[in-house]
Structure 1
Amino acid sequence: MVKKIGIDARLISQTGIGTYTRNLLYFLDQLSQNDIVFYIYLLESEKETFKFKGKNFIIRTTRSKWHSINEQYAYLQEINQDHLDLVHFTYFSYPFFYKKPFIATIHDLTPLLLKTGRASTKNPLIYQLKFQAFKYILSKQLNESKAIITPSQSVKKQILDYYGENYKNKIYPIYEGVDMAIQDLNENSSLMKQFNTKFMIYVGNFYPHKNVDRLIKAYSKIKTDVKLILLGPVDYFSDSINQLINQMDLNKKVVLFSTNKKEDLVFFYKNAISLVHPSLSEGFGLPIVDAMYFKLPIIASKIPVFQEIIGENYTSFDPTAENDITGKIQKYLDNKNYSKIDYSLRLQKLSFKKMAEETFLIYKKNLGY
């Protein structure tokens, strides 16, 4: 009998979760078998973003965005109409009245553990309401799911520390890997004209927990001609970062650069002397793994998940201590040893292909195979 699996791919074009979803779908397409049909739910605007080789992949489109009222009603109705045997919600936001079997991926607990209000453009009352809604939905998802996937042991530990040991046997840590979109891709060498001196890079968004403002302040104290290039999306949070750079008169030392071209990203990974990642909290750290693929030296926060992923193969600092960030980067630059690092042993464990295979086994287990 043919089984039907739904996969929520509405965030496929976003950073982070989008990378996770794109790689999951790509490798599931290589794995799928004839007695399972996948229903892939995409926003209408995204329906042309992904093509499948397998005939057992059916694309469904929806107008219901995550964190919306429509998600709780229209999207719920849409997935119910397909009479699915199992759904994989790839994000915490989901129709909480959905009553049939599902699994979910919880990428991190950052909104719970670092509640500041700074990660919202809303007024404090609306932010508080959204925070309470997040707590409720996440708790409900954890309780009602058949299985929870996390991207690291660190996130599993966070969940158990916060919610209790009762969930231990239903949580499956599965490592992610190097984005397939940047592997074996040629760099945009035309950028060499603009970036023709030594530089370090930060890759990611500019949400408050990413701690980029503290990195900028720390970097302002460093005596160097090496530039810090901040690579991320243009939004409310990048505007704040740009204002800080201007206020501190650091335009010649710190550069904000936005691009959605993978060839540009490959250029920066290949030509930087180091990746700097000052985050206060992460569930995994995709830019870290991409940097490892390009053998880039890493200077990053001393937080459990980075220690889990990189081991001792990086220069760590206390992300809450500006002077420690300054000192560790200054020491690295003074050393003038910018040699590439071989992370091949660590990378053997970090693979989106393996992630898709292990996820597929969880699907089959919960379908009774």
Structure 2
Amino acid sequence: MYHIHGGHGRYLRELIVNLEELDTTNRYTIILKPEGAALYIPKNPNFKTIVTGTHWYTLGEQISFLRLLNKLHADLVHFPHWNVPLLYRRPFVVTIHDLILCEYPTSAVSTRNPLIFWVKYAGFQIILRHALTHAEHIITVSETTRDQITDHFPELLTETTPIHLATSVPHVISSESRHSRDESRNLNVEIPRLRPASQDFARDDDLRRHFLYLGTAYPHKNLPFLLHAFHQFGIRYGRTYQLILAGAGSIFYDRLLATDTAKTLLENGDLIYKEAPDDAALEELYTNATTVICPSLMEGFGLPALEAAARGVPVIASRIPAFQEVLGDTAIYFNPHNIESLIAALCHSGARRLDDAIESREDKERDPIAPTTSALHDDNLRDKLLSRAQQFSWRKTAEKTLRIYQLTNCQVLA
């Protein structure tokens, strides 16, 4: 197990730390990249680490990493992603986070030449199918991902168990702190706010609430759609809000920020990009956000949405199965293919009348673009968000995963 960055890295860190506390019987070998080894020092004497320089999604993963695994003679290996060496023959379980590449097989998700992408995509299909068919057990991060596997691989016989991800932030945010912040807005008292790195991106006298997006800029994240909707929202109702995008720098963010819509928003101070915020910066981003926006066309889980809920921050989310599974009835949902639906959701989040956004519609209740907004008008929304987040915990994730290890190992030995 050697991913360390991003959502997969967070999953691994929390899983391993909790397994250390839960399991004092079995011995574990954690395989890490050099940067991961610098961040993780086992506390449980039954846990040890091995460092590998092998890069994932490469030929080396199929050769040198395979040799390393074979030398370990492990009773069971847990691969936290689909990239299992094709020639590995000992028992293993695999975690599948999503099947986005199966749903959106496009070279737009790659920085490589399209021909190279399609060659690698063919390899992905072979390795994924091998992982699913040869695993002793499949773990998915949601029922949504389990259903996607069933849809794409109806002939698959491997037992599959959904085990939810969780959030590692405190579930209970000080009511007094959030109340004071909200009250200060109502009284027009100056409150701390985030500023862009360059003063070219915002005016010095700006004091504006903001919407927050956290994540990558991959095509399925639907960010051009978000920028266009936010731009139209500002044109129609005044530039009273800013939009903050936060995520690791990449060519996908470079392309997004080079679009005409992004340039206009940046020049007007309506858009701010925060590159690769650390944990402290993430906490500040969440705490100061009016609303977190999750516009994806597809997700396996939706960790930023859950992290927002854990802080009592309202969420506007696309009406897709993963977000509905994680957030239930605590979010404002919109149609991720219709600009007007997102604009209407932004209006609701900004305490504006939905009628202003779709006033020309006669049958608003049945309008297919109208967002699901009952959560917004719930006086107990914050308590419901916190309660929803408390249903997910990394300890539960680790306990269920350990049971899979134990069950699988017993079956193999039998």
Q: What's the TM-score once normalised by structure 1's chain length?
A: 0.91
Partner of residue 208, structure 1: 219
Deviations 1:248-304 (A, max 9, x none): 411111111113311111111111110001001100011011001001111010001
Partner of residue 11, structure 1: 3
- Which of 109, 115, 121 is 1:119 aligned to? 109
Shift of 1:346: 2.1
Matched ranges for 1:65-214 at <5 A: 65-164=55-154, 166-167=156-157, 170-179=159-168, 192=193, 194=195, 196-214=207-225
Q: Is the 8 A contact 1:154 1:283 kept in 2?
A: yes
Secondary structure at 1:312's aligned position in 2? coil
| Structure 1 residue ranges, 4+ long, deviating more than 4 angstroms after superposition | 182-187, 245-248, 336-340
Identity %: 30
Shift of 1:99: 0.3
Q: Is the 8 A contact 2:91 2:135 kept in 1?
A: yes
- Which of 213, 221, 229 is 2:244 aligned to? 229
Question: How many residue pairs were aligned?
Answer: 356
CA 1:183–1:47: 2 relative to 1, 3 Å: farther
Deviations 1:15-42 (A, max 9, x none): 11111111111111111123x1100000
Partner of residue 21, structure 2: 30
The answer to whether 1:249 aligns with 2:270 is no
Q: Is the 8 A contact 2:310 2:390 kept in 1?
A: no
Secondary structure at 1:230's aligned position in 2? strand
- Which of 326, 330, 334 is 2:343 aligned to? 326
Partners of 1:57 and 1:191 lie apart in 2 by 43
- Which of 271, 276, 279 is 1:262 aligned to? 279
Unpaired stretches in structure 1, ≥5 consecutive residues: 1-7
Amino acid at match of 2:150: L
Shift of 1:246: 6.4
Amino acid at match of 1:11: H
Deviations 1:158-203 (A, max 9, x none): 1001101543x610001111035x778999xx97363753111001
CA 1:74–1:310: 2 relative to 1, 3 Å: same
Secondary structure at 2:259's aligned position in 1? helix
Q: What's the TM-score once normalised by structure 2's chain length?
A: 0.81
Of residues 122-131 and 274-283 in structure 1, the stretch that sits farther from structure 2 once superposed is 122-131
Larger radius of gyration between Structure 1 and Structure 2:
2
Deviations 1:112-163 (A, max 9, x none): 0112221001111111111111111110000000000001111111100110
Unpaired stretches in structure 2, ≥5 consecutive residues: 178-190, 197-206, 354-375
Matched ranges for 1:253-292 at <5 A: 253-292=270-309
Amino acid at match of 1:142: L
Secondary structure at 1:276's aligned position in 2? strand
Partners of 1:22 and 1:82 lie apart in 2 by 21
Q: Provide the alpha-carbon RMSD of the alignment.
A: 2.3
